[in-house]
Amino acid sequence: MTKVDLKILAIFIFLTIISLLIFDLVFSDRKIIFIKELKEKIEESLYKEEAILFLGKMGGYHYGAENTDAIFVVYLKEDHLFIIHIPRDLLVNINGDFYKINSLWGLNKKEELLREVSLITGLKIKKYIVIDSYLIKSVVNQIGGLKVNLIYPVTDAVSGYTLKPGLHVLSGEWVEFVVRSRYYPDGDFTRMKNQFIIIKSLKEQLSKEPVEKLLSLVNFVIGLKNHYETNLSYGEIIKLLGIVGKIPNKNFKEILVGYDKNIWQDGNFEIKINNHKDFAYGLIPKNGAGEYSTIRKIIREKIKEEIAKEH
């Protein structure tokens, strides 16, 4: 957002406040009705379903920098927020060729990516937010580190160094280490669980911060505009932040269809990589590439089960 846009927004807020003051003076008899209707509209918007694709990439200019190794859908339903994971090694069939789903963004296949994620989850997904690792590190360092209770050990595959389970206050660099490490028997599936732990910890920590600090953080993120991309409007982002802020931490849930040979099959497949084909590790549903009916059913049942717990 440019300085001109911020100025326009400030003027709009100022005029809105003045208008409400005038409204209060001239139409005081209707003020209570107006406020009640406004409150009902806000509450109604909080329970509207929203599904947004979030992608996390390394960023930069090296090989693979545009691969989105964190892929999940943020699904808002009633007063719950669900993080629905998509495995980065999932293979997608486009015009007879296999692509890894994490490569589609970098190949400028946005529509194919949105369509595939919609098919996997059974949700209509048109909106997306893409962030890079620099933004994540910068935000965590800006708030003075992130308090995280790790459930799984996180091991560096090269040095063997292990960050043990337990409570840690992690810098941005260590948060990046946690979300990128996949040195586990089930590889990416435990990494996705770690990513959720980081996301939930960040949400919980930010919910305790004073408004002044949150506004300062929003300003800081706006300044990092080269490190994120979205087709959400500024108004939609503000609305999304407002809705997420209202959701209780206990209703922040993870939906992961874990590695199970009755659900998935993996192995070496011939995959389209840039302009050539090569054999590489990939993952497809047990019933074949693009056959997501079982996975959609599991996602739907898990969401239903989580919501039922609160009623």
Whether residue 29 sits in one domain with residue 57: no
* Token digits of residue 89: 């090694």
Domain ranges, residue 14: 1-41
> What count of other Cβ atoms lies within 10 Å of the Cβ of residue 247?
17
Cβ distance 242 to 262 under 8 Å? no
User: 251 and 186, same structural domain?
Assistant: yes
Residue-level pLDDT at 81: 96
Final residue of a domain: which of 41, 56, 71? 41
Residues 281, 153 share a domain: yes
The closest alpha carbon to 110, from 90, 129, 86, belongs to: 129
pLDDT of amino acid 30: 45
Largest CA distance in the chain: 73
DSSP-assigned beta bridge partners for residue 73: 53, 84
CATH number, domain of 127, equals 3.40.630.190
Same domain, 146 and 277: yes
Q: Same domain for 28 and 110?
A: no
Give 259-262's long-range contacts (Cβ < 8 A, gap of 24+).
259/186, 259/189, 261/286, 262/286
**What residue has token string 């669980």?**
193
pLDDT of residue 10: 45
What residue ranges of the chain have pLDDT lower than 70? Answer: 1-48, 311
What the block records as the tokens of 206 is 């930010």
> Which pLDDT value is given to residue 21?
40
Token pair listed for 253: 């849930």
Cα-to-chain-centroid distance, residue 286? 26
State residue 258's pLDDT score.
95
Q: What is the pLDDT of residue 231?
A: 96
Q: What pLDDT score was predicted for residue 34?
A: 42
Predicted pLDDT at 101: 98
Same domain for 14 and 52, yes or no, is: no
Verify that 78 and 15 share a domain, yes or no. Answer: no
Q: Are residues 141 and 195 in the same domain?
A: yes
Q: Can you tell me the distance from the alpha carbon of 71 to that of 55, in angstroms, rounded to the nearest whole number? A: 5
Same domain, 298 and 149: yes
Which pLDDT tens digit goes with each residue over 21-67?
A: 433 433 444 444 444 444 444 444 444 689 999 999 999 888 889 99
Residue 311 pLDDT: 67
Q: How many domains does the chain have?
A: 2
What global pTM score does this model have?
A: 0.84
Q: Are residues 77 and 18 in the same domain?
A: no
- The reply to whether 18 and 119 lie within a common domain is no
pLDDT at 232: 94
Together in a domain, 157 and 27:
no
